[in-house]
Amino acid sequence: MPQKKKTKPNAKVAKTAKRQKSSRWGRIAFALLVVMTVIALGFFLVLREEGQQSVAENAVGTVFQPVENALSTVTRGIRGIINGARDYWTISENYQVAQQENMKLRMQLEALEEAQQENKRLNELLDAKTLYSSSDPVFARVIGRDPGVWFETFTIDRGTKDGVGINMAVITGDGLVGRILEVGLNYSKVMSVIDTRSSVACLIERTRDNGVMHGEIASDSVTDECNMYYLPKINDIIPGDVVLTSGMDGIFPKGLTVGTVKAVARQSDLSDQYIVVAPSVDFLHVEEVLVLREETEDEEGSHAVLHTPTPRPTAEPTPGTGEEEPEPTPDDPNEQTWTRPSAMPDTDEIPETESGAEPTPTPAPSIDPSGLKPEDIWTT
Amino acid sequence: MRRFLPTILVVLMVMIECSVLPVLVVSWACPMITFTGVIVLGLLLGRSRGLFYGMMAGLLIDILFATPLGYNAVLYLLAGYAAGIAGRRFQRHLLTPVVTPVVLLSMFEMVSVGYLYLAGATLNTILLRNALVRIAAGTVLGQALYLLFNLLLKPVWSRFAAK
C-alpha cells in the first residue's frame, strides 16, 4: 500500500513532462511548416515564368498525376458499372413491356387476319347467295367431320327445321361442295364430291362433253382429286379446262363450278380413260357453306326434294286430213335435223360424197318451232 | 362417378376427334383417337365393357358425323370386344398393349380400304404407306392412353394392380 501511494505522484509528473515535451515538438513542427510555406510561395510566385509552371508546381503535379489518374480510372469504372446495372434494369423492364405489347399486337393482328379471311369467305358466300338466290340458299357452318381419311363427310348446323332436305346441293363461293346425305332436326350430314361414294354428273365447259365424276381416297392431306369417267372424246380435253355440273343427275343445278382438269389419263382401253379433276373448293378448310334449298310440292302436298327434270314434249303433230301421205322420217343425215355441235369436226359424220365433189357442210341447227331450246328437249 | 368415367371419356374422345382436331390438325397421319381409346378401354375393362363402349363410340360417330349408319358401330364394337379378350388372356404379357392396337388398327385399315374398293374406289400404293404411319401413330397414342386410363379408371383387373 505505501508503494502505490509513491507511484501515483510519479506517474503524474511523468505525464506532465511528456506533455510538455510533445507540445515543444509541435511548436517546432509548426514553425518549420510555416517556413516551408513561405519558401514554396516564393518559388511559386517569384520564380514563375509567364505561361509556364514553376519548377515546384511541375514537381508537385508530376508526383500527384499518377495518383489522380488511378483514382479517376477507378471512379470511372465504378460509375460505368453502376450505370450499366441501372441501364440493364431499365432495358429489361422496357423489353418486357415491349414483349407483352408485341404479343398483344400479334394476337390482334392474327385476329384481324382471321376476321379478314372470314370476311372474304363470307363475301364470296354472299356473292354465291346472290347468284343462286332463286334456289333459296341458306347459310350453314361446318361443325364436325367424319374421323379418318376414307370418307369425306361432314356435319353442318342446319336441319329440317331450316328447310334442309336430302340431296340438296351444298356450295361455297368457290364451287360445289357436295350434297345433303342425311338430315336431322338441326343438323345434316353432307357428302362431299371428293368422297369415293360420290358421283356427280359433270361436263367440260369448253367442249361440253359430259361425264361422271367420282371422288378418290385421299393419299395426302394437300390435294384432293377426283376422276371423271365416261367422256366421249378424251383427246379434246386439255389440263386447265373447267369442269361444271351438267344437271343430268337431277341433284346439282347446272353450271356449278366443280373444278379444273389436272391431267388426262389415256388408256388403251377406251372404257378406262379418265381425267383427273382438281376441285375448286379447298375441302381441308371448308368452314361455311350454302345449302341450295329447292323444293317442289306435288299434288298431295308432300315436299319432294329437288325435282328431276322431266322431258318437255315437242310440238305435237297436227293430224292430217288423210289425203296427204305423211312425210317419211328423215334417215338421210343430209336432211336438216338438229345435231349437237362438236368442237372438233368428226370425220365419221361427214357423209361420203362422190369423188371430186366437196363435202356438204354440217347443217345449221334449227330451232324447234315451239320456241323451246334444243337443250331443253330431253331425248332418249 | 368412376362408373360414368368411361362414358365421359368416350364422349370426350368423339367430340375432340370430330369437332376439335379437324380444325387444328389437317393431316393424313393423324391417329384415330376414339378407336385407339376404345381399344385401350377394352384392354383395361374387359370384353363386355369394351364391346359396350365400342358400340357407344361407333354409334355416336355414325349418328353425328358418318355414314352409313352402323359401319363404325360394328367396327368399334368388334375392336372393343377383341381388345377385351386380349386384355384378359394376355394380361401379364409385356407386349399386349403394343400388339393389340397394331393388330386392330391394321384390321380397321384393311376393312376400310376393302369397303371403299368394293364401292368403286381406285387404290394406290401410297395408301399403304399412309396406313402404316397411322398405325404407328395410333400405337404410340395407345400407350399414352393406356397409362392415363389406368390412372383414371383404376380397373379391378389391371396389370399394374398389386397382387
CATH number, domain containing residue A198: 2.40.10.340
Q: Is A176 within the bounds of a domain?
A: yes
DSSP state of A371: S
Which positions in chain B touch A117 (Cβ < 8 Å)? none
Q: How far is CA B39 from CA B1, B31, B43, in A?
A: 22, 13, 6
Which of B15, B65, B127 would best serve as a mutation to test chain A binding (most A beta carbons within 10 A)?
B65
Residue A250: all three cell numbers together: 337431277
Beta carbons within 8 Å of A191's beta carbon, 6+ residues apart: A152, A153, A178, A179, A181, A197, A198, B67
What pLDDT is recorded for position A332? 52
Compute the distance between CA of residue B30 and CA of residue B34 in angstroms, rounded to an integer. Answer: 12
* Interface touch B122/A216, C-beta < 8 Å: yes
The DSSP H or E segment spanning A201 is strand A199-204
Please name which of B147, B112, B88 lies closest in space to residue A148, comparing C-alpha atoms. Answer: B112
* Mean pLDDT, each 10-residue run in order, chain A (380 residues): 55 77 85 87 67 69 82 87 91 92 91 89 85 85 83 88 92 91 91 89 91 78 76 84 90 89 78 85 87 60 41 53 53 52 49 50 53 50
Could you say which of A150, A197, A221 has the minimum Cβ distance to residue B112?
A150
Residue A203 near residue A214, CB atoms below 8 Å:
no
Domain of A139, in residue numbers: 132-292
Compute the distance between CA of residue B63 and CA of residue A197 in angstroms, rounded to an integer. Answer: 18
The DSSP H or E segment spanning B151 is helix B126-153
* Interface touch B113/A147, C-beta < 8 Å: no
Q: Is A355 within the bounds of a domain?
A: no
Could you say which of B18, B19, B121 has the minimum Cβ distance to residue A217?
B121
* Amino acid at residue number B136: A
* Interface touch A214/B120, C-beta < 8 Å: yes
What pLDDT is recorded for position B83? 94
**A243 three-state secondary structure:** strand
Could you say which of A146, A215, A217 has the minimum Cβ distance to residue B65?
A146
Could you say which of A189, A219, A221 has the minimum Cβ distance to residue B26?
A221
Cα-trace Rg, chain A: 52
Could you read off the pLDDT of A144-198 as tens digits, one per residue?
888 877 778 889 999 999 999 999 999 998 899 999 999 999 999 999 998 888 8
Q: Is A9 within the bounds of a domain?
A: no
Q: Is A13 within the bounds of a domain?
A: no
For residue A145, the cross-strand partners are: A154
Residue B66: all three cell numbers together: 358418318
Q: Is A214 within the bounds of a domain?
A: yes
Per-residue pLDDT of chain B (163 residues; tens, 9 = 90+): 777 899 999 999 998 888 888 777 767 778 899 999 999 999 999 899 999 999 999 998 888 887 778 889 999 999 999 999 998 888 888 888 899 999 999 999 999 888 888 877 777 777 888 889 899 999 999 999 999 998 888 887 665 554 4
Compute the distance between CA of residue B150 and CA of residue B161 in angstroms, rounded to an integer. Answer: 10
pTM of the model: 0.59
What pLDDT is recorded for position A297? 41
Distance, C-alpha A24 to centroid of its chain: 100
Compute the distance between CA of residue A345 and CA of residue A354 in angstroms, rounded to an integer. Answer: 20
How does DSSP assign A73-135, residue by residue?
A: HHHHHHHHHHHHHHHHHHHHHHHHHHHHHHHHHHHHHHHHHHHHHHHHHHHHHHHHHHHTGGG
* Interface touch B18/A144, C-beta < 8 Å: yes
Mode of pairing for the β-strands spanning A226-229 and A303-305: unpaired
User: How many residues are listed for chain A in this entry?
Assistant: 380
Compute the distance between CA of residue B16 and CA of residue A241 in angstroms, rounded to an integer. Answer: 40
What pLDDT is recorded for position B63? 87
Q: How far is CA A207 from CA A237, A250, A342, in A?
A: 7, 21, 7
Task: Name the one residue in this structure whose C-alpha cell is 375448286.
Answer: A280
Compute the distance between CA of residue B65 and CA of residue A182 in angstroms, rounded to an integer. Answer: 10
Query: Which residue in chain B has the smallest CA separation from A187?
Result: B64
Please name which of A335, A147, A39 lies closest in space to residue B13, comparing C-alpha atoms. Answer: A147
CA dihedral A9, A14, A16, A20 (to 10 degrees): 160
Checking phi first, is residue A250 left (phi over 0); if not, alpha (psi -120 to 50) or beta?
A: left
Q: Is A346 within the bounds of a domain?
A: no
Q: Is A122 within the bounds of a domain?
A: no
What pLDDT is recorded for position A69? 84
Q: How far is A261 from chain B (nearest CA, A)?
A: 18
Q: How many helices (H) and strands (E) does chain A have?
A: 2, 14
DSSP state of A324: S
* Interface touch A221/B116, C-beta < 8 Å: no
* Amino acid at residue number B40: V
Q: How many CB atoms lie within 10 A of CB A213?
A: 25
Distance, C-alpha A65 to centroid of its chain: 71
Q: How far is B96 from chain A (nearest CA, A)?
A: 25
* Amino acid at residue number B36: T
Residue A304 near residue A296, CB atoms below 8 Å:
yes
Residue A119: all three cell numbers together: 370476311
Could you say which of B18, B116, B122 has the minimum Cβ distance to residue A147?
B18
Which of A143, A145, A199 would best serve as a mutation to test chain B binding (most B beta carbons within 10 A)?
A145
Beta carbons within 8 Å of B119's beta carbon, 6+ residues apart: A196, A197
Specify the number of domains making up chain A: 1
Task: Name the one residue in this structure whose C-alpha cell is 306435288.
Answer: A298
ipTM of model: 0.77
Please name which of A273, A176, A278 lies closest in space to residue A218, comparing C-alpha atoms. Answer: A278
The DSSP H or E segment spanning A158 is none
Q: How far is B53 from chain A (nearest CA, A)?
A: 17
Q: Is A166 within the bounds of a domain?
A: yes
